[in-house]
Amino acid sequence: MPKRIFYFIIVLSAILMWSFSFPLIKIALDNDIPPITLAALRTIVFIPILAFLLIKNGKNCIPTTRYDWLILIGIGIFAIILPGILQNVGMMYTTASVSSIIQASGPIFTIVLAIFILGESTDVKKIVGAIIALISTIFLVASINGDFSLVGAAVYGNSLILLSSISYAISSIITKKGLGSIKPLQMLGFSTLIGFIALSITSILEEPLDIINNLSTETWVVVLLLTLFPSFIALLLWYEALANAEISRLIVFVYLMPVFSVIFSYILLGEVISIQTMVFATLIIGGVALAQKDSIRLQ
């Protein structure tokens, strides 16, 4: 199989899993699972994975340099801890569909960071596309039932989703810099362990853990699906692709996420987005597409 097709398949698979996560998170939150507890539970699967790595490779799988540990801590903070809290809390106040559309603005922040930090190329199309997508995202965040506002529950929720998108963008840059010395599974295991510890402590301090005993079978199934697919398999596929492609050329596929997520949200939750939201979604996706035009090429 050609290299281009192989990475297209694994990236598209990851995007589909992440798209599916938005309605699943909404279902879990609607079933009264606390947002930080949900974020912590999604990382549990990595404990046996780390145990497997340690048993198989012993001390050889443990990072030894300060640089590698700083990379892992950075990924733990910006890819797991902050997004886990910001996204879950934000989705208590907004819809799964709108959340996925706002998350689609993430590539713009990644492109900007990749240009300034990784020294990746830029041109007029990238700049214009980034401006269109960014302005559209701001309007979407502040758009409530056809009106624009800087206050209100929905604006608060949308703003937290936007912050989680920026956090993911930062984590992509850190991940790209770390993949030169850290293997994908090793990176995934240790960074998530850091996230698990921090989220678990925060959950114990801030949320009533006794609610876990009262969760329904449906909620546990949703948590299991979120843990195995978006949190583990999708991330592992993404890291594998990220290790072999220029980040600003790979991130283009992320703008497919809201398309799939809106479909999944309609099927599972009955959510229907407004014409205004569709316009902003089109502008966001179009802006990202313009910024990435003629650049879908693997290294």
In the chain, % helix, strand, coil (3-state, to 5) comes to: 80, 0, 20
pLDDT at 274: 83
Interval 115-120 mean pLDDT: 74
Cα distances (Å, whole numbers) of residue 269 to 41, 96, 130, 162, 264: 22, 9, 31, 22, 8
Strand-pairing partners, residue 143, are: 148
Q: What percent of the chain has pLDDT over 70?
A: 85
Query: From residue 43, how far is each of 71, 154, 194, 195, 231 by CA, in Å?
Result: 18, 27, 10, 8, 7
Which token pair is 31? Answer: 């079933």
Token digits of residue 171:
């984590």
Per residue in 27-69, pLDDT (tens digit) is 999 988 899 999 998 888 777 776 776 677 666 778 879 999 9
> Band of the pLDDT at 296, cuts 50, 70, 90?
very low
Calculate Rg over the CA atoms of the chain: 19
Residue-wise burial string across 104-131, b where 16 or more C-beta atoms lie within 10 A, e elsewhere: bbbbbbbbbbbbeeeebebeeebeebbe
Calculate the average pLDDT of the chain.
83
Using an 8 Å Cβ cutoff, are 233 and 17 in contact? yes
* Position 264 pLDDT exceeds 80: yes
| Amino acid 299: pLDDT | 40
The token pair at 289 is 């597409």
Q: Is residue 75 very low, low, confident or very high in pLDDT (cuts 50, 70, 90)?
A: very high
What pLDDT, on a 0 to 100 scale, did the predictor assign at position 132?
87
For residue 92, the model assigns a pLDDT of: 94
> pLDDT band at residue 298, thresholds of 50, 70 and 90?
very low
What value does the mean pLDDT take over residues 241-269? 78
Cα–Cα distance between 142 and 93 in angstroms, integer?
13
pLDDT band at 145 (very low <50, low <70, confident <90, very high): low
* Residue type present at position 244: N
Mean pLDDT of 6-28: 90
Helix (H) or strand (E) holding 82: helix 82-90
- The answer to which of 61-75, 201-215, 240-254 has the lowest mean pLDDT is 240-254
- Decide: 247 and 65 in contact? Cβ < 8 Å: no
Please compute the mean of the pLDDT values over residues 90-108 and round it to a whole number.
Answer: 89
If pLDDT is split at 50, 70 and 90, which confidence band does 5 have? confident
Rounded to an integer, the average pLDDT of 140-144 is 77
Name the residue among 99, 80, 117 with its Cα closest to residue 29.
Answer: 99
